[in-house]
Amino acid sequence: MAKASKNIAEQNLTAPEHVAIIMDGNGRWAKKRFLPRTAGHVQGSRTAEQICEDAYDLGIKYLTIYAFSTENWARPESEVSALMDLLRKYMKDSIERSSKNNMRVRVIGDISRLDDDLRKSILRLEEATKNNTGLNFQVAINYGGRDEIVRAVRTICEEAVSGKLSPQQIDEELISSHLDTCGIPYPDLLIRTSGEYRTSNFLPWQLAYSEFYFTDVLWPDFNKEELKKAIEYYNSRDRRFGGVK
């Protein structure tokens, strides 16, 4: 686990090294204000940007957010396109922002289905930030945990068929290294907002031993105080990883 940062050290708390977030409740946030659902996503993307700064300030080294799932294509076309526009804007704006705040941005998910321009800005941003040493920020786009495992299995089979590896070499480490999250530690803590209690195909392999924190707060209202509450909860847990203490 990462060392606690100054602010939470005062409470003797340890920051989780990696936090994953399912940012739920944008639609309900907008509905409560008689706004279109897309307004909720706009506010949600602002919250995501702010939470990156807050997370790093609290001592978190890796943050992974679920921005668009493989199932989200089933939403109305206007909503899908509003979300893609937001992601497009995020990738462009982030090049400058990341060079200021030293953040490394990576995208997980199958980006081959995304529009050419979005895919290119993702690759440009990943390349531009690859040597940054601040927060490691992963954005899941067209991500589905089962799809990620299918893609990994396919690659492993191709390597086996071509003679690059033998079936005996397939172990947890090898599978892990073929996932989109290769090189990134597993999340210590998963946060889901808006009062839903499920993981919705988000990081099923990686979350096997993570702590789960659910809050009724809608994602656009989530802030540093709420993140601190999640860290407090995390610190109250006794992680045994299947063993005894």
Could you list the active site residues?
24, 72
Question: Quick check: helix, strand or coil at residue 3?
Answer: coil
Is 82 a binding residue for ligand FPP by CB under 6 A? The answer is: no
Residues 97-126 that bind ligand FPP (CB under 6 A): none
The binder of ligand FPP chosen from 56, 90, 222, 234 (CB under 6 A): 90
- Check if the beta carbon of residue 97 is closer than 8 Å to that of residue 89: no
Q: How far apart are CA 194 and CA 29, in angstroms?
A: 9
How big is the chain, counted in residues?
245
Residues 176-205 that bind ligand FPP (CB under 6 A): 194
The binder of ligand FPP chosen from 16, 39, 41, 217 (CB under 6 A): 41
> Which range of residues in 6-14, 42-50, 104-112, 125-133 is near ligand FPP by CB under 6 A?
42-50
Is 23 a binding residue for ligand FPP by CB under 6 A? The answer is: yes
Residue (8 or 23) nearer to ligand FPP, CB: 23
The binder of ligand FPP chosen from 39, 48, 63, 82 (CB under 6 A): 48
Strands, sheet with 211-214, edge to edge from the N-terminal-most edge strand: 104-108, 136-143, 62-69, 18-22, 189-192, 211-214
Is 210 a binding residue for ligand FPP by CB under 6 A? The answer is: no
- Check if the beta carbon of residue 110 is closer than 8 Å to that of residue 70: yes
CB of 229 to ligand FPP, least distance (A): 20
* Cβ burial, residue 2 (10 Å; 0-12/13-18/19+): middle
Residue (26 or 210) nearer to ligand FPP, CB: 26
CA proximity to 228, closest of 44, 1, 10 = 10
Secondary-structure breakdown of the chain: helix, strand, coil percentages, each rounded to the nearest 5: 50, 15, 40
- The CB-nearest residue to ligand FPP is 27
- The residue ranges that bind ligand FPP (CB under 6 A) are 23-28, 41, 44-45, 48, 67, 72, 86-87, 90, 139, 194
